[in-house]
Structure 1
């Protein structure tokens, strides 16, 4: 799902892997690039050092598509039957292509921490983060009270971040970071809670990305709400039987959701496009309507 305040688009792919996600971020390009960005990616993903060393060259290497890229890996002695290693190298090649074409330069990916989305400049959803506190299962009244106190501190901090978004002030960022440390370095004596707080503290940079980029959302609710229509349709009608069925479902749901966001009747929109609507009140082009609102 790709969307904003005025539109929603659905596209169903064969996989939800990181490899697939990166291929979508690459846009219409088909190439693979082994350059600085690719090797930085391999370093972050702890790629096999001997393999990485064997692939590194002084100049970036450019491959027009997957076939010459895989042939190059085979020529360099990479075990192409090692699916995990090949996947990591392919991801690096895709990320190299993304950066080579100047994509994702200032884009922040906000996610629920699903592994496939943890690429590039990444931020964590605060709603999903707080949900981890909800999932704790205290066994005593004291432990339950401690969880309630910590959740209250987190929600108060979240509200302060929302206020920061409305009026960003770089001078106040250090104070937010100190306040974050005070909350997530608390040691309550409730082992499960303390372990979770310690784990979340390690993700400090991703949770406080909004201090650097005030325009990003603090949560993924917009995408979650858009996808709810898709999931409801699947629960009621089941899955699709063919690629044509998937395309039809994606297109129609996207149009319906977009009309809803634009305050247009989907029923009247379909009638207008099929030539059975009222000529006195034609439905304008959706792209033109969206651009007019931008």
Structure 2
């Protein structure tokens, strides 16, 4: 017995609707699970601890106030530590991107000998755990008399093997004919990089910048190790101190966590937009 075409179409349509509904429910549940911690941080930062302690009722944003943020900045110098994190992030990201572009350019376009061996050595450094270089980095920074200063936080990470690797792979896809044409036209290295190379590899440039900035902003153990005074520490270390001082005041701790989370969230959202533009531009060139 065969089904009539109309009955078969109805069943197929019903099956597709059921699958679409289940998929939508699954996606909504996944979004709620992923976004709930972020919502709790932002909502808790603006809600008095007394209301947060009410259980599920504390999740409803009906008693919003900035008292937690004010209190957090009074307990420890979060404002100064936030500025320190911004400086460290900008300096470390700028150094990693600049050194990454220059190193990858030398490996790909400068015709150096034994570049493959150099690249393999460079690539092998990615596999070395950061803990193994911790003592060496600390002794180096200490010999430079930089302990308890901001340069001590970002200088050991001025170069990144991962950034060099990503730029090298992107540069290898650049057409050699364009490079030869630029040389015949009299373009120097800096002009070629600025005017021709970087616009083509813009997606990689944005991705490396985003990864470097996020890693620099989220650094915790190394800034904790090389800084001593609260005024010279980054905001991530300050949040850890805040949680120890105000362990019973959940709202104040969440206010400090919000100060760390919001900048990263904004950078990721903005970078996604520019990353999509960069991918489109790269595909059309």
**TM-score, normalization by structure 1:** 0.23
Greater RCO, CA 8 A, separation 6+: 2
Comparing both structures, which one devotes a greater share of its residues to helix? 2
Greater strand share, structure number:
1
